[in-house]
Amino acid sequence: MNRILVAIAALMLFAGTGTANLLINGDFEQSMDIGWTDTVYVIAGDYRYEQGDTFGSSTGQAVKVRKYLGKFASLRQAVAVPSTDLTLTFDAKLNQGLGSSTCWPVAAFFVRYMNTAGAELGATCWYNHSAYADWRDNDTMNLIEVTSFDWNNYQLRIAEELSTNLPGVNASDVTQVMVDLFAFDSGT
């Protein structure tokens, strides 16, 4: 059985040099339904969202998104942003189980760049995947492979990411950023 786990703690999106977190409940100190939307598509298996005291992280409260078998479970939040002069910091643990050529899992954390209408213009994705995963980089998708099953700290300077790794995304069109904890399995 394929098991996918995405765990996140202390998720913060800062504008410019400011210190205020743009995300609502980015520290997960309140209930998950405050600031966060869960989305699930099940063709087989089960899914689960959990909130707890660290789950082994050193930074306080954390959440988990789990999916077993076919398709995905997601916990996401979109926020309006004043510009792309933003820094995202977070701690994450991305774990996935074994897969096959017809049923491969991916544990991922997406940063999705959107326009005023909410259309996705591009994305940055940290992902831990089985050998069979067929996701690919392109000019609007930057995939960053994670091979560790441990908690790690990550940082993303969004303006730099867009100019360096996502030439297909016009930074001036980005008015919203969505963060998305994403557990996926291609089949059953």
φ, ψ (nearest 5 deg) of residue 73: -130, 140
Whole-number mean pLDDT of the chain? 80
- Is the pLDDT at 5 greater than 70? The verdict is no
How confident is the model at residue 25, as a pLDDT? 77
Number of domains in the chain: 1
pTM recorded for the entire structure? 0.87
- pLDDT top residue among 2 and 176: 176
Percent of the chain exceeding pLDDT 70 equals: 71
Q: What is the CATH number of the domain that holds 16?
A: 2.60.120
How confident is the model at residue 160, as a pLDDT? 96
| Strand duo 3-15 + 86-96: pairing | antiparallel
116 CB neighbour count, 10 Å cutoff? 10
Distance, CA of 114 to CA of 123 (rounded, Å): 9
- Each residue of 73-125: pLDDT tens digit? 788 899 999 889 888 888 888 877 766 677 777 788 899 999 999 999 999 99
- Each residue of 162-172: pLDDT tens digit? 999 999 999 99
- Amino acid code (one letter) for 9: A
- Is the pLDDT at 133 greater than 70? The verdict is yes
Parent domain of 84: 3-185
- Tokens found for residue 124: 């940055």
DSSP strand E in 2-138: where?
3-15, 37-42, 47-52, 62-68, 71-80, 86-96, 105-114, 120-129
- Is the pLDDT at 63 greater than 90? The verdict is no
- If pLDDT is split at 50, 70 and 90, which confidence band does 30 have? confident
